[in-house]
Structure 1
Amino acid sequence: MRLTICKNYDDVSRIMAERVLTLLEKKPDLVFCLPAGNSPVGMYKELVKAYKEGKADFSSLQTFDMDEYVGLGPEDPQSFIHFMHHHFLDHVNINLDNVRYPDAMAVDLDTELRQYAKEIAHKGLDIAITGIGDDGHIAFNEPGAVQYPETHKVKLDEATRLQNAPAFGNDPEAVPEYAITTGMAEHMKTKNYFVVCSGSRKAPLLQRFFSREELDPQFPVSWLRMHPNVEFIVDEEAAALIPDDIRKKALAGEEL
């Protein structure tokens, strides 16, 4: 496990984009599990910038969306596939035949999700990036007594609906009640895993993660303690409560 502490959100975004581009250069047909939400927006801007400057080629990139709201189609401005097109896909030279996302409006959603999970297992994920939800969730793997291994439908916690309300006119009731999310086994099998965080709101979550050792299904991000290749890229505000011994190792470039 590695921890990189940056000055601010812009630096988090730049360094995360650099990690993606390094992997893409090594493997042009990189399989990328794309995140939505506020955390990766800056990274997508950096990736688009690199493409426009002739420093990146996305023509062979393969993508899977990390999650989606049940009942929202690609034309819905609040859907995550719409988000991906708006912030990234429409601005680079990706082959849209290589873009895969779950059909959140499928009549037989269970069959759709089983097929999506099979495709992920067949391709294998080279890279995934996530933030941390206010309740400790990653993707939409919410706190609970169990965690599911593969892509599945999940009922969103009220805390998550409240956190995502700004995208729905600040009305938590307008946030879909259910979502689709990639599962924990899919995350754990990803070859290169990254967590990005910025701002003081995330500080207690990182403090909890780096201060304890147990795996807690009520704190889903804790499962990443078992991941063989994970890096946290965070800014100073988010890192403010991380124990000093962990910070020192991080600043010295040491594995945690």
Structure 2
Amino acid sequence: MAIGVAEIVHKYLTNLLQTQAEVAILLATGNSQIQFLDALIALGGIDWLRVTLFHLDEYLGIKADHQASFRRYLRERVEIKVLPRHFHYLEGDCLEPIKECDRYSKLLQAQPIDLCCLGIGENGHLAFNDPAVADFQDTSGVKLVKLDLDNRQQQVNTGQFPNLEAVPQYAFTVTIPTICAAKKIICLAPDQRKAKIVKETLQGNITTNCPASILRLQPQATLFLDINSAHLL
């Protein structure tokens, strides 16, 4: 699945760079993205000096070199390998979080997002838009949210933190409307632990109780599953 998605994204980006001077990409993190990012970079042939990168979320109060930091994840897995024109990071350890939301929102608004890469959380979240804080009509580009228990437990389950107490309670997240404004959305949701939420995303009501369900209203969005995450469909 990861290789197939990488080939689709690679073709999209190379075609786009033939018709416009620059491209902007909004990247996700997490286990669902690792093989995809590796495969995309390995294909080569993309002029990364014409690409500006953003990311979807970051924990509040976490340093850039923390093992669970999304900045570290993307710096090590993407930035140092491709050397893009710019990589704009959410500064999780900033001193003024509300100002950081405003700063990053303005960066995202300054240019159209050509591609947004996503995963789906076990509670249906997109980025850190958990059911309790997701807003399909959000007027903010980036906001500070409290993470729900299911989300924090997922971070433990995937090995990012040793226990629940170690997981930060708050995080920055790009909002749902900002995600949906991307010209193309690629969502990867592999693994059997995603099967229940995939079924709800595709067959349940379109509601913030399952934030990922909003993707069904986005004609530019494609959801990729493997046999394990699709087995309840």
In structure 1, distance between residues paired with 2:10 and 2:48 = 10
**Shift of the alpha carbon at 1:145?**
6.4
2:75 counterpart residue number: 85
Match of residue 114, structure 1, among 85, 92, 102: 102
2:200 counterpart residue number: 208
CA separation of 1:61/1:146 partners in 2, compared to 1, >3 Å: closer, same or farther? closer
**Shift of the alpha carbon at 1:60?**
1.1
Which aligned pairs between 1:147-158 and structure 2 lie closer than 5 A?
Answer: 147=135, 148-149=138-139, 150-158=141-149
**Shift of the alpha carbon at 1:124?**
1.7
In structure 2, distance between residues paired with 1:206 and 1:114 = 32
1:13 counterpart residue number: 2
In structure 2, distance between residues paired with 1:114 and 1:34 = 19
- The DSSP-based 3-state class of the residue aligned with 2:32 is coil
In structure 2, distance between residues paired with 1:154 and 1:69 = 10
CA separation of 1:46/1:190 partners in 2, compared to 1, >3 Å: closer, same or farther? same
Q: Is 72-81 or 129-138 further displaced after alignment?
A: 72-81
In structure 1, distance between residues paired with 2:60 and 2:12 = 31
Cα deviations by residue, 1:39-95 (Å, 9 ceiling, x for unpaired): 0000111122123xxx33312111111110111132222210100011111112323
2:222 counterpart residue number: 231
In structure 1, distance between residues paired with 2:197 and 2:168 = 25
**Shift of the alpha carbon at 1:160?**
0.9
- 1:240 pairs with 2:231: yes
- 1:218 pairs with 2:206: no
2:62 counterpart residue number: 72
In structure 2, distance between residues paired with 1:26 and 1:90 = 24
> Partner amino acid for 1:185?
P
Identity %: 26
CA separation of 1:145/1:37 partners in 2, compared to 1, >3 Å: closer, same or farther? closer
TM-score (norm 1): 0.83
Contact 1:23/1:30 (CA < 8 Å) preserved in 2? Answer: no
- The DSSP-based 3-state class of the residue aligned with 1:130 is strand
**Shift of the alpha carbon at 1:121?**
1.4
| Structure 2: runs of 5 or more not aligned | none
The RMSD of aligned alpha carbons is: 1.5
> Partner amino acid for 2:30?
G
1:5 counterpart residue number: none
CA separation of 1:146/1:87 partners in 2, compared to 1, >3 Å: closer, same or farther? closer
2:177 counterpart residue number: 185
- 1:159 pairs with 2:145: no
Structure possessing the higher relative contact order (Cα contacts under 8 Å, 6 or more residues apart): 1
Contact 2:53/2:87 (CA < 8 Å) preserved in 1? Answer: yes
1:41 counterpart residue number: 34
In structure 1, distance between residues paired with 2:3 and 2:69 = 25
In structure 1, distance between residues paired with 2:46 and 2:110 = 26
Cα deviations by residue, 1:185-237 (Å, 9 ceiling, x for unpaired): 1011111011111122111112112223x321111111112213110111111
Match of residue 113, structure 2, among 125, 130, 142: 125
**Shift of the alpha carbon at 1:153?**
0.6
- 1:195 pairs with 2:182: no
In structure 1, distance between residues paired with 2:191 and 2:94 = 37
